[in-house]
Chain A
Amino acid sequence: AQTVTQSQPEMSVQEAETVTLSCTYDTSESNYYLFWYKQPPSRQMILVIRQEAYKQQNATENRFSVNFQKAAKSFSLKISDSQLGDTAMYFCASDTGANSKLTFGKGITLSVRP
């Protein structure tokens, strides 16, 4: 069974600064995928970034990047140059590919202060 843990319930960051959201996971699979999803107040689930476990290079998408530490089973999300529109709940998730179902963490509420 997979588990995903997000231990920080909420964080706050000043606009234009950088913030890092933490996530750890546990899986017995050798090949898996990791994701960060954003859920703004509109409640739409939006894919932010995706990492394939067999790739050592950390994924990046514009201002969003991950720090993937496979041995430590850690998958943190870094948001650079934070914007007010980044205010949302962020979910870390994993998927083995074999059974193709996402397992989510509890989420973290991020507030960007003007």
Chain B
Amino acid sequence: DAGVIQSPRHEVTEMGQEVTLRCKPISGHDYLFWYRQTMMRGLELLIYFNNNVPIDDSGMPEDRFSAKMPNASFSTLKIQPSEPRDSAVYFCASSLSATGYTFGSGTRLTVV
């Protein structure tokens, strides 16, 4: 079991550019979460999916953020256009009906 796989591990981009973060959950898990971690706000839930369907996106900060889960093995979080205040570590996590959550290694995003 390779765990939850996120890519890239680091991303540096210029303000205004589009950024796409990727996540492969653990096979068989039916929940997928996207979290953002900053020093000021801690860990915030952005959006989560159940069986590939978005359930709660109330944590998505702005329309610049969007997330998709086209199938059970892949999800993306896109920021367009990116801004410096989007700089953070973005985590993907998956779980099997809340019996345990496994996090990926995170993507450190820096927008300059």
Contacts and interface: CB of A to CB of B under 8 A. Distances in A.
Contacts of B93: 45, 102
A68 interface: no
B95 interface: yes
A103 B58 CA distance: 14
Contact of A33 (B33, B43, B45, B98): B98
Given A43-B89, A45-B91, A91-B43, A100 B98 contact: yes
B6 to A, nearest CB: 11
Q: How large is the interface on A (under 10, 10 to 19, 20 to 34, 35 or more residues)?
A: 20 to 34
Contacts of A100: 31, 48, 50, 95, 97-98
Contact of A102 (B55, B56, B101, B106): B101
A107 B40 CA distance: 12
Nearest to A43: B106
Contacts of A95: 98, 101
A11 interface: no
Interface in A27-78: 33, 35, 37, 42-47, 50
B82 to A, nearest CB: 20
Contacts of B91: 45
Interface in B39-65: 42-43, 45, 48, 50, 55-56
Given A43-B89, A47-B100, A97-B98, A104 B106 contact: no
Interface residues of B, number: 22
A101 B56 contact: yes
B43 A104 contact: yes
Contacts of A104: 42-43
A9 B95 CA distance: 28
6 closest A-B pairs (Cβ-Cβ)? A45-B103, A100-B98, A104-B43, A97-B98, A106-B42, A43-B106
Interface of A: 33, 35, 37, 42-47, 50, 91, 95, 97, 99-107
Given A44-B105, A47-B102, A100-B50, 13 more contacts: A45-B103, A46-B103, A95-B98, A97-B98, A99-B55, A100-B95, A100-B97, A101-B48, A102-B45, A102-B93, A103-B45, A106-B42, A107-B42
